[in-house]
Amino acid sequence: MELSHQMESKDRQVQLSTKQGLPEELPSLLKCIVSKTVAGFDSVECSGMNYPTQLVTLPSPQEDPTVGKGLEAAKLHGQANVIFGPPPSSPVEATDCHQPHAISFSMPASPSGLHISQAAKVIFIDKAGPTAIDGQLNQPSDSDTVNSQQPKQEKFHSQPIPTGNSYGKATGGKVSDPFESQLRISRNDNQRDKRFDSFKTWSGKLERQLSNLRGKPQEPDLEANDCHSAETETVPAVDRYFDALEGPELDTLRATEVSVLPEDKKWPFLLRFPISSFGMCLGVSSQAILWKTLAISPSMSFLHVSLTVNFILWCISLALMATISLIYSLKIIFYFETVRREYHHPIRVNFFFAPWIACLFLVLGLPPSVAVNIHAALWYVCMAPIFCLELKIYGQWMSGGQRRLSKVANPSNHLSIVGNFVGALLGASMGLKEGPIFFFAVGLAHYTVLFVTLYQRLPTNETLPKDLHPVFFLFVAAPSVACMAWAKINGDFDYGSRIAYFIAMFLYASLAVRINFFRGFRFSLAWWAYTFPMTGASVATIRYSMEVTNVLTRSLSVGLSAISTLTVTALLVFTIIHAFILHDLFPNDISIAITWKRPKFNKKLAHLRSASSDMKDIEASLPKNNPELEL
């Protein structure tokens, strides 16, 4: 009651002083201060123009009760919102005035103070009259001060609110709420997942530059990206791939490891598109060579195979090669960091030979109706990348470092050997001599070393699987192609060619009798790369039947050709099912998302993952419609 009585007496004193013409006494909470006297205060400096200092007041509680509540809260904390600046309606020349890029608001120290929506109704008073920001005209009214003890206030710095070149420019004259604009910008930035930016070619820098050009600057999230960029910018060492991954293809994350990318979310398509996809090109293009050989070989004339089949398969191979090359080229452009990780992968690096071997297959399987004589320059173009890759990989095998052959030896290394023999075969078919002999010699030397290393099964061969896997069919590829290459170079299927052919047949038979062990493996696109060795063995058998023509060699040629064709057809059916029905043909490529060092909590993580897998097994074993389990 005493407080209300003091406020009423104060109102009567103010009204009496106004009637007598005395100057109005400002309340202590709304003290007028010239902005130029405060160093660093946000203001508009104009040359040749002087604007009076303006006071921002709030409507009286009688006119707006919501403001009264906010004003009372502001009085309790001893703060008010005051803005100084030129009147919005006054014309200001752009050449004589420098406008700041932000407006600063000093908000109350407590959330219970003046609310943003309550503080939105402020008035700029100038000589022309009051103007409300929100479009409503509010007359100022006198207010009283309460002589109460103010609590100790904490120091809060004003936060800038970006408004562009002018406060009302974005809305075409209608001034919008700057707080809503800031929230809208931050909300749009948060909608985009930035966890994949570090795998992009420019790590998101180009996107931020384009956003700045559009007038929507984006500030990098340093706190969130510092640790993530450190994990992705450094390519893991070869030991990390062995420690973090498992399986014959090193494509499964161990239980003690974590991924730098989200495992529960589907990644962008280019991130999930592996280099092993070129294995499909190897499988289909080798079939084109097989059916061309069946059509033109004298020993297979009783089959009456038409070259039309070869033409259709060659066209399919060409279209498939163009499509996969285009997609992977986009991956190189937009996600080059992922390509770098694939190149440093001890298994994936061998598949970088696949695109160039597929090109050699396309030239070998070229239908006679398309072209007969091919310029030798095409051979040099296809063999140049293979030669460069061999200098890199064979040098690492010989140097004795982390990627020495005794450590990274795997049946997939045969892909780096087969390219030499296929190139020698194509070069000899074109009439070249020195080049094909050179690559044949290089391939023969390194195949001997690789063959012995894989057969020894050294303790350092960490990637060599204990059970049989389709990757073992690559053992058959090198000797099958080598026998045909030497026969073309020498001009006769002599003893050297027959030795290589018999080695290939023995390895083929040793794998075929253990067909029961090739079960329980997850389908992957890399299986396509393991089909062309079977096709190569079939073509070599047809070539051998031309030298030794009898029922056995002809029957063997037909049987191996049928097995090869059926295998490719079965893989084609599996590929279509996984692509269009199961939609898991391109799963998340975990092998390129490992951390560059071992996580510290790997034991706890392994325990949690094992417990989770046990729960899934228990749920899968329970019957779905069991009335005893229902509540």
List Cα–Cα distances, 479 to 3, 475, 502, 536, 544, in angstroms.
Answer: 104, 8, 9, 9, 13
Handedness of CA 159, 165, 166, 167 (dihedral sign): negative
Distance CA 76, CA 70 (A): 10
Q: Output the pLDDT for position 38.
A: 58
pLDDT at 221: 47
In degrees, to the nearest 5, what angle opens at C-alpha 516 toward C-alphas 514 and 522? Answer: 115
CA 391, 453, 530 angle in degrees (round to 5)? 75
Q: In this structure, are residues 372 and 430 in contact, taking their beta carbons and an 8 Å threshold?
A: no
CA distances from 178 to 89, 163, 347 (A): 19, 7, 54
Instruction: Please name the residues in contact with 9: beta carbons below 8 A apart, sequence gap of 6 or more.
Output: none
Q: For residue 108, which of 151, 139, 45 has the smallest C-alpha distance?
A: 151
Q: What's the pLDDT score for residue 620?
A: 53
Predicted pLDDT of residue 171: 42
pLDDT attached to residue 144: 45
| Backbone φ, ψ for residue 118 (5° rounding) | -80, -25
d(CA 501, CA 538): 11
Residues of the chain with pLDDT under 70: 1-193, 202-233, 458-468, 520, 600-631
Contact 310, 288 (CB under 8 A): yes
3-state secondary structure of 238: helix
Instruction: Please list, in sequence order, all residues whose beta carbon lies within 8 angstroms of the beta carbon of residue 276, skipping any fewer than 6 positions away.
Output: 249, 348, 351, 354, 524, 525, 526, 529
User: How many angstroms separate the CA atoms of 339 and 586, rounded?
Assistant: 16
The pLDDT tens digits for 279-331 are 999 999 999 999 999 999 999 999 999 999 999 999 999 999 999 999 999 99
CA angle 575, 577, 581 (to 5 degrees): 135
303: which residues sit within 8 A by CB, 6+ positions away? Answer: 294, 558
Q: Is 287 helix (H, G, I), strand (E, B) or coil?
A: helix
Taking the C-alpha atoms of residue 405 and residue 397, their distance in angstroms, rounded to an integer, is 5
Q: Helices (H) and strands (E) in the chain — how many of each? A: 21, 8
pLDDT at 276: 93
Q: Do residues 335 and 199 make contact, with C-beta atoms less than 8 angstroms apart?
A: yes
Q: What is the pLDDT of residue 558?
A: 96
Q: Which of 454, 376, 456 is nearest to 414 (CA)?
A: 454
pLDDT digits (tens, 9 = 90+) for 80-118: 444 444 444 444 444 444 444 444 444 554 444 444 444
Say what the pLDDT of residue 191 is: 56
Contact (Cβ atoms closer than 8 angstroms) between residue 418 and residue 478: yes
Is residue 512 a contact partner of residue 568, using CB atoms and an 8 Å limit? no
Q: What is the secondary structure of 141-193 as a DSSP string?
A: --------PPPPPPP-PPEEEE--SSTTTTTTTSPPPHHHHHHHHHHHHHHS-
DSSP 24: P
Report d(CA 59, CA 62) in Å as an integer: 8
